[in-house]
């Protein structure tokens, strides 16, 4: 692991029953880097980022986040493993396609839940942080609303504020705009763009080509459980090399 790497994934394998979904994935992400992961449906993108914070248990390989390294599939002592998984989860936050907000909590309640229950922050400090983060995602006036009264774009912005409330070192995004109507994509992508400009390390599974072109430092193309191509956005998007990458970009670009 290079000193500046925030994420270092080596030889990652994952199967669901007979289906081998990840077939040896290597990926490093430097501090402050924004990596967009693209690829056809079913190629293993979601599984890869869920393995990064160990929401899925890889069968083999190494996952290292901010220097905390977990060997997967081997005989590791349980207590040590639990400690490392907890460390990795604290350093990474995830933004899901379907938002996953708590429906019975207000926007502010959703944002401060992690700081209160996981970070054990004092209520006043958590509320101050929550308000600041809702401000940052443009939802100052929605703090008291419940998710059912928010648009999809607003819900996803609350979800981003909630992720940031854990003060992560890395944010993983799993198709953050794909459940939204097209006219709501821009407001979510704008928040993500600002986060990238502020220097957050981000891995984003998305088919948003313009976002990749403007914001990503690197695009990684997956197909069939492996990384087939990786490069700067202008190179990958304008001149893909692999025939499957060319075919994919003809469909999404």
Residues that bind ligand ADP (CB under 6 A): 16, 19, 21, 39, 41-47
Quote the least distance from Cβ 198 to ligand ADP, whole Å: 27
Beta carbons within 8 Å of 212's beta carbon, 6+ residues apart: 36, 38, 206, 219, 233, 237
What minimum distance in Å lies between the beta carbon of 202 and ligand ADP? 17
Output 187 or 223, the one with its CB closest to ligand ADP: 223
Question: Half-sphere exposure of residue 176, counting CA atoms within 13 Å on the CB side?
Answer: 30
Minimum distance between the CB of residue 49 and ligand ADP, rounded to whole angstroms? 8
Partnered with residue 12 across adjacent β-strands are 25
Residue number with CB closer to ligand ADP (52 or 164): 52
Closest CB 218 distance from ligand ADP, rounded Å: 18
User: Is the Cβ of residue 23 or residue 213 nearer to ligand ADP in the bound state?
Assistant: 23
- Name which of 5 and 223 has its Cβ closer to ligand ADP: 223
Q: Shortest distance, CB of residue 170 to ligand ADP, whole angstroms?
A: 18
Tokens of 126: 């958590």
d(CA 174, CA 67): 23
Residues 6+ apart with CB under 8 A from 42: none
Q: How far is the CB of 223 from ligand ADP (least distance, A)?
A: 9
Residue 222 has a CB neighbour count (10 Å cut-off) of 26
For the chain, the residue count is 253
Tell me whether residue 15 or residue 131 sits nearer to ligand ADP (CB atom).
15
Structure tokens, 19:
């289906």
Which residue, 2 or 41, has its beta carbon nearer to ligand ADP?
41
Please tell me the distance from the alpha carbon of residue 252 to that of residue 148, in angstroms, as a whole number. Answer: 31
Determine what percent of the chain falls in helix, strand and coil, rounding each to the nearest 5: 40, 25, 30
Q: Which residues pair with 212 in a beta bridge?
A: none
- Whether 121 and 150 have beta carbons less than 8 Å apart is answered as no
């Amino acid at each position: 692991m290079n000193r500046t790497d925030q994420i270092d994934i080596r030889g990652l394998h994952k199967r669901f029953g007979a289906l081998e979904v990840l077939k040896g994935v290597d990926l490093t992400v430097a501090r402050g880097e924004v990596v967009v992961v693209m690829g056809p449906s079913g190629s293993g993108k979601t599984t890869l980022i869920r393995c990064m914070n160990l929401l899925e248990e890889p069968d083999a390989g190494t996952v290292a986040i901010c220097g905390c390294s977990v060997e997967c599939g081997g005989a590791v002592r349980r207590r040590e493993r639990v400690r490392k998984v907890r460390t990795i989860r604290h350093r990474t936050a995830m933004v899901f396609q379907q938002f996953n907000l708590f429906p019975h909590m207000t926007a502010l309640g959703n944002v401060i839940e992690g700081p209160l229950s996981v970070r054990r922050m004092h209520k006043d400090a958590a509320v101050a942080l929550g308000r600041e983060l809702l401000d940052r995602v443009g939802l100052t006036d929605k703090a008291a609303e419940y998710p059912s009264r928010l648009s999809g774009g607003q819900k996803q912005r609350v979800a981003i504020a909630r992720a940031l409330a854990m003060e992560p070192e890395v944010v993983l995004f799993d198709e953050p705009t794909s459940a939204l109507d097209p006219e709501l994509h821009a407001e979510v992508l704008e928040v993500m763009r600002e986060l990238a400009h502020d220097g957050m390390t981000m891995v984003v599974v998305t088919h948003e080509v313009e976002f990749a072109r403007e914001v990503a430092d690197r695009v990684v193309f997956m197909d069939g459980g492996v990384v087939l191509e990786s490069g700067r956005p202008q190179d990958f998007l304008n001149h893909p090399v692999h025939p499957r990458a060319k075919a994919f970009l003809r469909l999404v670009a």
